[in-house]
Chains A and B, each alone.
Chain A
Amino acid sequence: MSVSSRDELEEERDFLLASLRDLERERENGELSERDYQALHADYTARAATVLRALERGPAKPATGRKPERDIRTKRPLVVTLGVVLLVAAMAGGAVATFAGQRGAGAPMTGSLPDSPSGKMQQALELEAQGKAADALKIYDELLKTDPRNVQALAYRAWLLKRAGLPDLAVTALDQAISIDPRFPDAHFFKGMVLYQDRADPAGAVTEFRLFLSNDPPQEMIPLVEDVLRRAMADAGMPAG
């Protein structure tokens, strides 16, 4: 008997003896019925006896006797299992193809959240950044349908209108946003840009840029707006500083 075969048999023996003691405990705890206990006890005892005999005589015998029978018996569950696996795979494959769709900007790769207004707003901004203005516009419209006084949606929708060459509509929407919340800085900036670039009204733009700067604007926007403010002031003939 080789060392490794003997090791395996000893390990098997230890396991079976441990299982027999385990079984006693579970019987005491009421985890097993008497019938289950008897069946398992008989199984473990028989296997332990076989292993012990093998340890005395050599390892070859216990493994060979039952092999053909085992092979036949194990085929059926294997086939059933494989069948189930293939069925699930086919169904899942079909379903994933059915339920997969084009991913919108900012949308998760899988699953979906009922969109919150802030999430929708974020999605629209990302679409806009990707140049998908029409898609962004749809989201702003949806947001304004729920809340016609959504200042952020009004202002950013107006910015899209300005970029689409509709400055009059943009100014109307921006005026509406500013009337709802005069402290929202972005609306002032957008209005300033429309006045400066589309209406040739640098003086009006200067007023809006100053309002932007005085209403707690995002830090990263300040240098940009200060720069355009300087240019607007120069165009309006206002002294710098």
Chain B
Amino acid sequence: MSAVLGTAAVALGLAAAVLGMATLALGLRRDNPDMLRAGQRYVWLVLAGAVLATFAMQYALLSHDFSLTYVADNGSRSTPILYTVTTMWSALEGSILLWALVLAGYLAVMARHFRNRASDPIVAWATLVAFGVAAFFFALMAGPANPFRVVAGAIPLDGPGPNPLLQNHPLVAFHPPMLYLGYVGFTIPFAFALAALITGRLGEGWLVETRRWTLFAWGFLTVGIVLGAWWSYEVLGWGGYWAWDPVENASFLPWLTATAYVHSVMVQERRAMLRVWNLSLLVATFSLTILGTFLTRSGVLDSVHAFTESPIGPAILGFFAVVVAVSIALIGWRGDKLRSPGSIDAPVSREGAFLANNVAFAAFAFVVLLGTVFPLIVEAVNGDQLSVGAPYFNRMTAPIGFTLLFLMAVAPALPWRKASAETLHHRLLWPAWAGVLTVVVCVASGLRGLGPLLAFGLAAFAAAAALRQLALSVRAARRGGSPVWRALMGRSNGGMVVHLGVVILAVGFAASSSYGHRAQFRLAPGESAGLAGHTVTYLDTATVEKSNKKTTSARVRVDGGKVYAPALHQFPFGSQAIGSPSVRTGPFSDVYLTLIVPPDAGGVAVIGVNVQPLVAWLWTGGAVMGFGTFLAAWPGRRRRRAAPEPAAPGRPAPVPEPATVAS
């Protein structure tokens, strides 16, 4: 039943996407508003296809329908229900289904949002492009990545379950969907960018239309990446959260270009500059999400030659090439129309700072991209299997990170056009003093190391600058009789809250990566060991056997207080024991415990202990960034629902009411 329903749902989604494209293309060619409106309605069929396919997959997983290859390969009767649900995104075919579901959801929201402008050519073209992306992913499911393929031969009675690492922590229920909400969300601004290029309406209108979409996608991606780091910290047991591995880099690359775009788009909105650059950033962001999917799903990370054998590698690479080629061709075609009417009047200005910020983000993205694809290129050229180590990424990105922190402090204080020395002095004096004072206090407290001290100083500088901006807004809100919380709403103020989140995260990153302590202790029951001012006492070990795993957990008391239980899990189909750390999280330091070697006959166990300062600041910073994004995207009290007249085909619709777009 699941196979039939799922296959039919995928066929429905694919057919609806293709028919939607055809109807819209015909409507645009014939200037027929009725056809354009009809084309939009296919969105609901695409959504129905994706929802039904997801329902079929979840039903198959939960009912242990091992007649489906996907369930036979990744499901198990002994897997707990939460991880049975998350099995949908634990392997290739299911994750493509999740992608299609999220994309269909975005398409539906887009269709509803622009329902009064369905006949506007820019909306029609954007929908057509989004249909094209949806058609690609449904086609993958209909062909090489079919999640509803039926088992050939005898139906197994049970399966191995998902990868043990993906059934070890509830964060797996949130991290991938959040990441996909970010990845896929960039389809909408990308579709509008292409629509603007195709229609030639290259003013700032389409930016305004997509601003909130971009912010939400960026916010989800940010939270998704932070959740991924948290998952890595809580599950993998190596005591860190970021290792520059290709999967992490794949999610980080579009974040970098999207962050550059979120800043540079303000320059275009305010000064009508950087049009080509902004289009290029959007195209780069969307392309990098596709490249990331290729890297993580094609098998290319195992071997550059493996992807040709993977079911979807060549298809995704081909799609990536089409996206890049079409986008570059369109930008080249519209080159003359993309010339900006304005230019930068002075380098020391807000637009100058945003440009510098964009150069820094672009350099950051280039460094990460080069490091990530270099081993692939070398292997493709001469067959050598190389690895680019973490030191490359750390050494190359650290100066860029410092530059970005500095710009984060300075840019909000700079006026547009040109900054005078007097303005700089007035706006940056006390934030700069905050930075200097922070460094002095840190040094006086005994902290050493150029990198972390510079990071703390610049972070304090940036935090003070952001707080100053927020304080000004609060004061203005009070003066105007508005509630204080209103002062935090809107792009600029929400952006300052995001900056505060980045500062918190940067401080956590600098401290935890510079001042951590790590040791392994062989302890008999009752024995204690000390590290960085903390005492761990090994009490005993217990083994619990459940249907899905055998768990050996040590009981370890930290600083004479609460008892923690680092464990090793042995899954029935896993050859390796999977470690599960236990962490005492505190606002100032974490004590991270791992059971490295279970007790021997004499009861002696090897316990790994990491003491790292300010790790919790990373997760707090991520949450503040997410909250800030929400504030920045919040419509605000001035939003008024404009009821724009539907445009006749071939003519642009009026831009929504300014109050709507401004907030």
Contacts and interface: CB of A to CB of B under 8 A. Distances in A.
A240 interface: no
Contact of B600 (A4, A28, A149): A149
Interface in A1-27: 3-4, 7-8, 10-12, 14-15, 17-22, 25-26
B600 A180 contact: yes
Interface stretch (A73-81, A203-211, A227-235): A73-81
A66 B244 CA distance: 48
A112 interface: yes
Interface string A183-196: 00000000000000
Given A26-B492, A101-B386, A101-B389, A110 B600 contact: no
B659 A21 contact: yes
Contact of A22 (B362, B423, B658): B658
Contacts of A113: 236, 238, 240, 243, 245
A116 to B, nearest CB: 5
A101 B366 CA distance: 20
A214 interface: no
B609 to A, nearest CB: 14
Interface in A81-113: 81, 84-85, 88-89, 91-93, 95-96, 98-104, 107-113
Contact of B388 (A25, A31, A99): A99
B599 to A, nearest CB: 10
Contact of B387 (A81, A101, A180): A101
Q: Mostly helix, strand, loop or mixed at chain A's interface?
A: helix
A96 B370 contact: yes
Interface core residue of A31, A32, A118 (most chain B CB under 10 Å): A31
A31 B493 contact: yes
Contact of A111 (B208, B393, B472): B393
Chain A interface residue count: which class? Answer: 35 or more
A25 B579 contact: no
A147 B607 CA distance: 11
A33 B372 CA distance: 44
Interface string B510-540: 0000000010101000000000000000000
Interface string B644-663: 00000011101101110111
B90 interface: no
Among B366, B389, B469, B522, chain A packs the most CB atoms within 10 A around the CB of B389
Contacts of A4: 200
Contact of B375 (A8, A100, A125): A100
Majority secondary structure, B binding face: mixed
A96 B392 contact: yes
A116 B372 CA distance: 23
Contacts of A35: 415, 423
Contact of A30 (B204, B384, B475): B475
Given A31-B473, A95-B392, A100-B388, A109 B246 contact: yes
A130 B658 CA distance: 65
Interface string B591-626: 000101100110010100000000000000000000
A117 interface: yes
B601 A180 contact: yes
B380 interface: no
14 contacts: A8-B337, A14-B205, A14-B655, A15-B204, A15-B205, A25-B638, A31-B492, A39-B417, A47-B341, A70-B343, A93-B370, A101-B387, A109-B388, A111-B243
Interface of B: 200-205, 208, 236-240, 243-246, 248-249, 269-270, 272, 301, 337, 341, 343-344, 347, 355, 359, 362-363, 366-367, 370-372, 374-376, 378, 384-393, 395-396, 415-417, 423, 469, 472-477, 480, 487, 490, 492-493, 518, 520, 522, 572-573, 575-579, 594, 596-597, 600-601, 604, 606, 638, 650-652, 654-655, 657-659, 661-663
Given A19-B270, A121-B576, 20 more contacts: A7-B201, A7-B652, A8-B200, A11-B655, A12-B203, A14-B654, A22-B662, A25-B662, A29-B493, A85-B366, A91-B396, A92-B371, A98-B392, A99-B389, A109-B245, A111-B248, A113-B243, A114-B240, A114-B518, A117-B596
Interface of A: 3-4, 7-8, 10-12, 14-15, 17-22, 25-26, 28-33, 35-36, 39-40, 43, 47, 63, 66, 70, 73-74, 77, 81, 84-85, 88-89, 91-93, 95-96, 98-104, 107-119, 121-122, 125, 146-147, 149-150, 180-181, 218-219
